[in-house]
Structure 1
Amino acid sequence: MRLDASTPLPTGTLSRMPVVNSESRRARSGNRRDEAARVAVLHAADDLLVEHGFGALTIEAIARRAGVAKQTIYRWWPSKVEILLDTLIEDSDKHVPVPTGEVTADGVRDYLRGFARFLTGDPAGKVLLTLIAQAQHDPGTAGSFHERYLGPRRDQERDLLARALDAGVIAPRLGLDEVVDALVGPIVYRALVGAAVPDALVDALVDDLLRPRPES
C-alpha cells in the first residue's frame, strides 16, 4: 500500500526522443502511478474497515489513508461497496483460490479448511462477512455482491465438485448446488457469529457429504 513516486526524465529528454516513444513512455509511467494509487485505495479501505467498521468507513477517510484525492476514487469507484468488492475479489483469488487442477476429496477438504481460515483470520475475510451483512438490507449491495463475487465463486466451487464427481473421488448424496450450500453454509455461519471453525468441523462436513458410503 505504498505509492511509488515516478522518476522525472532529465530536461530535454523528450525533445530528443521520437514522438511515438515519448507517448509510450508517458503512458507506461501513468499506468504505474494509477496502479499504485488503486492498490493504495484498496488496502486503505481494507485496513479502515477492520479498524473502524463499515459504518465509519467513508470515501474521505479512504482518500486520506491512501494519499489520493477523493476525485480519483470517485473516478474509479461509485461507492465504498465497490471498493470493498475489488479488495475481496483480489484477496480471495490470492489467498484462497478455488483449485483448478487435478482434484481429490482431500483437495476439496483442504480448500474448505483454507476458506475457513480466510474467513476467521484474514482481514479480507472480514470484508466478505461485512458484505454478507450489508447485502441483507441493501438491494444494491446484494446485487453487486452476487454478480461480482458470490455468483462467480459459487460457479467455481460447483465446478470443483463436478470435476471431483467425474473423477470418482466423491459420491455426494445431494445435488451439487445443495452440496455447495451444505459445505460452505456452516463455515460462513460460524464466522458470522464469531465462532471458531475447527478443522474437525470441516472434515466432518466433507466426510458426511462427499465421502462414498461403505456398502453394507
Structure 2
Amino acid sequence: MAQKTAPDSTRRSERSRRAIYDAALALVAEVGYAKLTIEAIAARAGVGKQTIYRWWPSKGAVLLDAFLDLGEQASRAASENAGKAEAETEIPNTGDLEADLKYVMRATVDEFNDAKYDAPYRALAAEGLLNPELGAEFVEKLLEPQLQLFVKRVEQAREAGHIMPHIDPRIALELWAGPLAQRWLMRSGPLTHDYVDTLVEYALYGITPRPASS
C-alpha cells in the first residue's frame, strides 16, 4: 500500500499568502481603499478571514506587505532580464550626477504612471496620514529605503567634489523628490520624463542667474 505524503503546510501557507496579496492589490484598484475590507480580500483569495487576521492586524497592513512584495517581484524580474544575480539596489554612479538622477527619476515616473502601482501606493500614502502606526511602517519599510539611495548618491557626489561640501544630502534630495511626490499625490499636473528632468536641473543649478566669471 502506497504511503501518503503529508501535506506541505509551508507551501500551502505560501499559496494562501500569495492569493491574499493578489486579492488585496486587485481589489484596491477596483473599489478603492475606503471600500476595501478583510472579508472581501478573504473571499477573493479563497481563504477564511481568520487566516488573514492571524497574519495581519488590518487591511492596511495586508496592503503594505502586498505592495512591498510587488516591488520585490519587479526587482527580481528586472534582475533576471538583465542577467544579474541580484536586484539593482543602488543609484548608478557614472560620475555624472545629473544623468544619474534623471535616470532614476524617469524610472520613478514610469512606476507612478503604472496602474498596478498607483492605486495601492496612493491608498497607503493616504492611510498613513490617518493611521500613525501604519504611517511609520510605510516610511520605515518603503519610503526611507528609497530615499536613502538618493542620500548615498548625493554623498558620493559630495565626496567627489561635484557639489558643494556643506550640502546636506537629505535636504538636497527633497528639492526633486518633494515636488514629484506633491504633483503625483495631488494630480496637479502630468508626470513626464521632461518634468523630472527639469526638477533635477533646477535642483542642481538653481533658478537665479549667476554672476559672470571674471
| Same fold (TM > 0.5) | yes
Structure 2: where are the runs of 5+ without partners? 76-86
Q: CA RMSD of the aligned region, Å?
A: 2.9
- Does the CA contact (< 8 Å) of 2:25 and 2:120 recur in 1? yes
- Residues 93, 103 of structure 1: alpha-carbon distance in 2 compared, 3 angstrom cutoff: farther
- Does the CA contact (< 8 Å) of 1:99 and 1:111 recur in 2? no
What is residue 171 of structure 1 aligned with on the other side? 163
- Residues 209, 98 of structure 1: alpha-carbon distance in 2 compared, 3 angstrom cutoff: farther
- Residues 133, 177 of structure 1: alpha-carbon distance in 2 compared, 3 angstrom cutoff: same
Q: Under a length normalisation based on structure 1, what TM-score does the superposition of the two structures give?
A: 0.76
Deviation at 1:174, TM superposition (A): 4.6
- Does the CA contact (< 8 Å) of 1:99 and 1:160 recur in 2? no
Structure 1: where are the runs of 5+ without partners? 1-9, 15-21
- Residues 99, 110 of structure 1: alpha-carbon distance in 2 compared, 3 angstrom cutoff: farther
Identity of aligned residues (%): 30
- Does the CA contact (< 8 Å) of 2:32 and 2:119 recur in 1? no
What is residue 111 of structure 1 aligned with on the other side? 104
**Deviation string for 1:2-57 (max 9, x for gaps)?**
xxxxxxxx84255xxxxxxx7xxx5xx32222112111111110110011011100
In structure 2, distance between residues paired with 1:61 and 1:107: 42
What is residue 50 of structure 1 aligned with on the other side? 29
**Deviation string for 1:65-90 (max 9, x for gaps)?**
11111111111111111111112222
- Equivalent position amino acid for 1:77 in 2: W
In structure 2, distance between residues paired with 1:101 and 1:132: 24
What is residue 138 of structure 1 aligned with on the other side? 131
Deviates more, 1:113-122 or 1:100-109: 100-109
Taking the TM superposition and a 5 Å limit, the aligned residue runs for 1:44-83 are 44-83=23-62
Deviation at 1:94, TM superposition (A): 4.2
Count of matched residue pairs: 194
Task: Identify the match of residue 191 of structure 2 among 184, 193, 197.
Answer: 197
Task: Identify the match of residue 124 of structure 1 among 117, 123, 128.
Answer: 117
Deviates more, 1:119-128 or 1:55-64: 119-128
